[in-house]
Amino acid sequence: MTSATAITSDPLSAEAVLRAVEGPGAGAVTTFVGLVRDHNVGRKVLWLDYEAYAPLAEKALGIIIAEAEARWTGARMAIHHRTGRLEIGEASVVIAVATPHRADAFAACRYAIERIKQIVPIWKHEHFEGGEVWIEGATADANDEAAREAALKIACA
Protein backbone atom coordinates (compact mmCIF):
# COMPACT_ATOMS: atom_id res chain seq x y z
CA MET A 1 0.00 0.00 0.00
CA THR A 2 1.47 3.32 -1.07
CA SER A 3 1.46 6.13 1.45
CA ALA A 4 -1.13 8.88 0.95
CA THR A 5 1.51 11.58 1.38
CA ALA A 6 5.14 11.83 0.38
CA ILE A 7 7.85 14.46 0.10
CA THR A 8 10.63 12.76 -1.80
CA SER A 9 13.70 13.43 -3.92
CA ASP A 10 12.95 10.27 -5.94
CA PRO A 11 11.10 10.48 -9.27
CA LEU A 12 7.33 10.36 -8.76
CA SER A 13 5.15 7.49 -9.91
CA ALA A 14 1.60 8.42 -10.88
CA GLU A 15 0.70 4.75 -10.68
CA ALA A 16 1.89 4.51 -7.08
CA VAL A 17 -0.22 7.53 -6.11
CA LEU A 18 -3.23 6.00 -7.89
CA ARG A 19 -2.79 2.76 -5.96
CA ALA A 20 -3.01 4.69 -2.70
CA VAL A 21 -6.62 5.75 -3.43
CA GLU A 22 -8.07 2.63 -5.03
CA GLY A 23 -11.01 0.89 -3.39
CA PRO A 24 -14.34 -0.73 -4.18
CA GLY A 25 -16.34 2.43 -3.41
CA ALA A 26 -14.64 4.46 -6.14
CA GLY A 27 -16.66 5.35 -9.22
CA ALA A 28 -14.13 7.80 -10.62
CA VAL A 29 -10.49 8.71 -10.19
CA THR A 30 -8.82 11.91 -11.31
CA THR A 31 -5.08 12.44 -11.31
CA PHE A 32 -3.16 15.66 -11.66
CA VAL A 33 0.50 15.69 -12.62
CA GLY A 34 2.39 18.97 -12.39
CA LEU A 35 5.38 19.15 -14.75
CA VAL A 36 8.49 21.28 -15.03
CA ARG A 37 7.96 23.58 -18.01
CA ASP A 38 10.68 25.05 -20.23
CA HIS A 39 9.44 28.65 -20.05
CA ASN A 40 8.14 31.07 -17.42
CA VAL A 41 7.15 34.74 -17.92
CA GLY A 42 9.38 35.07 -20.97
CA ARG A 43 12.35 33.25 -19.45
CA LYS A 44 13.85 30.07 -20.87
CA VAL A 45 13.82 27.71 -17.89
CA LEU A 46 16.76 25.28 -17.64
CA TRP A 47 15.79 23.37 -14.50
CA LEU A 48 14.04 23.82 -11.14
CA ASP A 49 15.26 23.11 -7.64
CA TYR A 50 12.51 22.45 -5.08
CA GLU A 51 13.34 23.01 -1.42
CA ALA A 52 10.96 21.78 1.29
CA TYR A 53 10.51 22.02 5.02
CA ALA A 54 9.85 18.30 4.69
CA PRO A 55 8.18 17.36 7.99
CA LEU A 56 5.76 20.32 7.88
CA ALA A 57 5.20 19.86 4.13
CA GLU A 58 4.16 16.26 4.64
CA LYS A 59 1.90 17.32 7.48
CA ALA A 60 0.38 20.04 5.26
CA LEU A 61 -0.41 17.46 2.56
CA GLY A 62 -2.21 15.48 5.26
CA ILE A 63 -4.20 18.59 6.25
CA ILE A 64 -5.26 19.12 2.61
CA ILE A 65 -6.30 15.47 2.27
CA ALA A 66 -8.33 15.68 5.48
CA GLU A 67 -10.03 18.90 4.29
CA ALA A 68 -10.94 17.30 0.93
CA GLU A 69 -12.12 14.04 2.43
CA ALA A 70 -14.34 16.00 4.84
CA ARG A 71 -15.77 18.17 2.04
CA TRP A 72 -16.41 15.45 -0.59
CA THR A 73 -18.21 12.41 0.80
CA GLY A 74 -16.42 9.13 0.17
CA ALA A 75 -13.32 10.82 -1.32
CA ARG A 76 -9.89 9.26 -0.95
CA MET A 77 -6.90 11.40 -1.84
CA ALA A 78 -3.13 10.97 -2.09
CA ILE A 79 -0.47 13.58 -2.87
CA HIS A 80 3.24 13.11 -3.53
CA HIS A 81 5.57 16.09 -4.04
CA ARG A 82 9.13 15.92 -5.28
CA THR A 83 12.13 17.91 -4.04
CA GLY A 84 15.61 18.62 -5.34
CA ARG A 85 16.71 19.29 -8.91
CA LEU A 86 14.08 18.55 -11.56
CA GLU A 87 14.69 18.66 -15.29
CA ILE A 88 12.22 19.93 -17.91
CA GLY A 89 9.31 17.51 -18.31
CA GLU A 90 9.73 15.82 -14.94
CA ALA A 91 6.80 15.60 -12.51
CA SER A 92 6.96 17.87 -9.46
CA VAL A 93 3.64 16.84 -7.94
CA VAL A 94 1.11 14.05 -8.38
CA ILE A 95 -2.41 14.12 -6.94
CA ALA A 96 -4.93 11.29 -7.15
CA VAL A 97 -8.52 11.47 -5.93
CA ALA A 98 -11.06 8.68 -5.95
CA THR A 99 -14.73 9.49 -5.31
CA PRO A 100 -18.05 7.71 -5.80
CA HIS A 101 -19.04 10.17 -8.57
CA ARG A 102 -16.96 11.96 -11.21
CA ALA A 103 -17.88 15.60 -10.51
CA ASP A 104 -16.45 15.35 -7.00
CA ALA A 105 -13.24 13.76 -8.27
CA PHE A 106 -12.57 16.75 -10.57
CA ALA A 107 -13.47 19.31 -7.89
CA ALA A 108 -11.43 17.69 -5.12
CA CYS A 109 -8.38 17.40 -7.38
CA ARG A 110 -8.55 21.08 -8.32
CA TYR A 111 -9.01 21.99 -4.66
CA ALA A 112 -5.89 20.03 -3.73
CA ILE A 113 -3.55 21.75 -6.20
CA GLU A 114 -4.81 25.22 -5.20
CA ARG A 115 -4.31 24.39 -1.51
CA ILE A 116 -0.81 23.03 -2.18
CA LYS A 117 0.15 26.38 -3.69
CA GLN A 118 -1.33 28.19 -0.70
CA ILE A 119 0.03 26.36 2.33
CA VAL A 120 2.64 23.66 1.67
CA PRO A 121 6.14 24.86 2.69
CA ILE A 122 7.91 24.11 -0.59
CA TRP A 123 9.90 26.65 -2.60
CA LYS A 124 10.78 26.64 -6.26
CA HIS A 125 14.22 27.91 -7.27
CA GLU A 126 14.10 28.62 -10.99
CA HIS A 127 17.31 28.37 -12.98
CA PHE A 128 16.84 30.07 -16.31
CA GLU A 129 19.02 31.21 -19.18
CA GLY A 130 20.87 34.18 -17.70
CA GLY A 131 20.17 33.74 -14.00
CA GLU A 132 18.19 32.22 -11.16
CA VAL A 133 15.28 33.36 -9.02
CA TRP A 134 13.27 32.10 -6.07
CA ILE A 135 9.60 31.93 -7.04
CA GLU A 136 7.36 33.25 -4.28
CA GLY A 137 3.60 32.83 -4.17
CA ALA A 138 1.33 32.75 -1.15
CA THR A 139 2.09 33.51 2.49
CA ALA A 140 1.56 30.04 3.99
CA ASP A 141 -1.01 29.78 6.77
CA ALA A 142 -3.11 26.62 7.00
CA ASN A 143 -5.48 28.41 9.39
CA ASP A 144 -6.30 31.24 6.99
CA GLU A 145 -9.99 30.57 6.37
CA ALA A 146 -10.26 33.11 3.52
CA ALA A 147 -7.59 31.26 1.54
CA ARG A 148 -9.36 27.94 2.10
CA GLU A 149 -12.64 29.49 0.89
CA ALA A 150 -10.89 30.83 -2.21
CA ALA A 151 -9.53 27.38 -3.07
CA LEU A 152 -12.99 25.89 -2.60
CA LYS A 153 -14.50 28.51 -4.87
CA ILE A 154 -12.03 27.72 -7.66
CA ALA A 155 -12.60 23.98 -7.21
CA CYS A 156 -16.37 24.29 -7.47
CA ALA A 157 -16.51 26.92 -10.24
Rg (CA), the chain: 16
Q: Which of 51, 74, 100, 156 binds other proteins (CB under 8 A)?
A: 51
Q: Which residue, 71 or 117, is less far from other proteins as judged by CB? A: 117
User: Residues 6 to 45: which contact other proteins by CB under 8 A?
Assistant: 34-37
**What distance in Å separates the CA atoms of residue 29 and residue 31, rounded to the nearest whole number?**
7
User: Residues 124 to 153: which contact other proteins by CB under 8 A?
Assistant: 124-125, 134-143
Distances (CA, A) of 130 to 45, 52, 124, 133, 142: 10, 25, 17, 10, 35
Q: Which of 52, 75, 96, 98 binds other proteins (CB under 8 A)?
A: 52
Counting contacts by CB under 8 A, is residue 108 touching other proteins?
A: no
Q: Which of 71, 85, 117, 127 binds other proteins (CB under 8 A)?
A: 117
**What distance in Å separates the CA atoms of residue 80 and residue 82, rounded to the nearest whole number?**
7
Quick one: which of 88, 81, 77 has its CA closest to 45?
Answer: 88
Distances (CA, A) of 76 to 39, 92, 151: 33, 21, 18
Minimum Å gap between C-beta 114 and other proteins is: 6
Task: Return residues touching other proteins (CB under 8 A).
Answer: 34-37, 50-53, 55-57, 59, 81, 92-93, 113-114, 116-125, 134-143, 154
